[in-house]
Structure 1
Amino acid sequence: MSDIVVERAYVQSLPKYITLCERNYLRALKVLPHEEHGAQRAIELANVHYVIEVQGCARYTTDITIKQTSASNVFFPSLHLSVRLYHDAKVAEVIHQDYHQRIKPSYRYPNPNMHQKDEKYQINAFLADWLMACLESGKTPLNWDVNNGLV
């Protein structure tokens, strides 16, 4: 008898993804500049300079970009992420990476652009790691609300 291998489509774990985006939201609030269009915050992390800029504010969302302004290595491309914060749901997710099209929830593999099956999750996990690194060892003034402003 021969065994037939049936390949199932990739199905993302929605609770795992939402938890990641909720944590990204909380971390992003700490490094965000003031929520007004064009506001910027500079961050230095491991001798590499980044700028977080508010691109747009609406009632329930804020769009920000994270750009690398100094090159860390000629072999690695500079970082550029577009992130949307959804204030009503309290989640933040990457919507564009390096000026590419919107990131799909999942991709068939293999594909012409060589995206991973879980590309959206991986990019948001990278954002989580980057935000955590900024909070732990980045050089920037952060938005800390100590005792609800009653210092």
Structure 2
Amino acid sequence: MSDIAIVRDYVQSLPKYITLCERNYLRALKLLPPEEHGAQRAIELANVHYVIEVQECAKYTTDIIIRQTSSSSVFFPSLHLAVRLYHDAKVAEVIHHDYHQRIKPSYRYPNPNMHQKDEKYQINAFLADWFMACLESGKVPLNWDVNNGLV
């Protein structure tokens, strides 16, 4: 008999991913500058400076850019994330990172660009960690009225 290895594609857990994106949305609302094109908010985290900038506002979405403006080390590349907030679904997800093309839900592994199988989930989990670090120990004025005065 011959042993046949069955290679299965990575299948993302949608409930786990949606929960992560919902939590990112709530965290993002606390850190967002006023929702108008070009508005910015400066954040200092561990002596590194970041800027959150509103790129585009639409009825149901807001696109923001999170970029690092000062370098912590010459060995680490600067952070650059494009995040889209979907107000109707109340989720936020990374749509671009470090000027790359759109992130696919999953990748075959190995691949020429060495993306991880669950790279989209990992990048959004990083965004969640970054938001938590900003909220817990970053120097930033927070938006406490995340319901726009409805409550």
The reply to whether TM is greater than 0.5 is: yes
* Corresponding position of 1:14: 14
**Mapping of residues 49-128 of structure 1, within 5 Å:** 49-128=49-128
Q: How far apart are 1:3 and its partner, in Å?
A: 2.1
- Partner SS state of residue 34, structure 1: coil
The answer to whether residue 38 in structure 2 is matched with residue 38 in structure 1 is yes
- Partner SS state of residue 6, structure 1: coil
The answer to whether residue 63 in structure 2 is matched with residue 27 in structure 1 is no
- Partner SS state of residue 64, structure 1: strand
TM-score by structure 1 length? 0.95
* Corresponding position of 1:130: 130
| Counterpart Cα distance in 1 of 2:31 and 2:139 | 11
Runs of 4+ in 1 over 4 A off after TM superposition: none
TM-score by structure 2 length? 0.95
* Equivalent AA in structure 2 for residue 58 of structure 1: A
- Partner SS state of residue 130, structure 2: helix
* Equivalent AA in structure 2 for residue 18 of structure 1: I
| Counterpart Cα distance in 2 of 1:140 and 1:119 | 29
Q: How far apart are 1:5 and its partner, in Å?
A: 1.1
- Partner SS state of residue 101, structure 2: coil
* Corresponding position of 2:145: 145
- Partner SS state of residue 83, structure 2: strand
Q: How far apart are 1:2 and its partner, in Å?
A: 3.2
- Partner SS state of residue 125, structure 2: helix
Unpaired segments ≥5 residues, structure 2 = none
| Counterpart Cα distance in 2 of 1:4 and 1:40 | 55
| Counterpart Cα distance in 1 of 2:142 and 2:115 | 34
Unpaired segments ≥5 residues, structure 1 = none
Identity of aligned residues (%): 89
Aligned-CA RMSD value: 1.5
- Partner SS state of residue 26, structure 1: helix
- Partner SS state of residue 112, structure 1: coil
* Equivalent AA in structure 1 for residue 117 of structure 2: K
| Counterpart Cα distance in 2 of 1:31 and 1:138 | 10
* Equivalent AA in structure 1 for residue 35 of structure 2: E
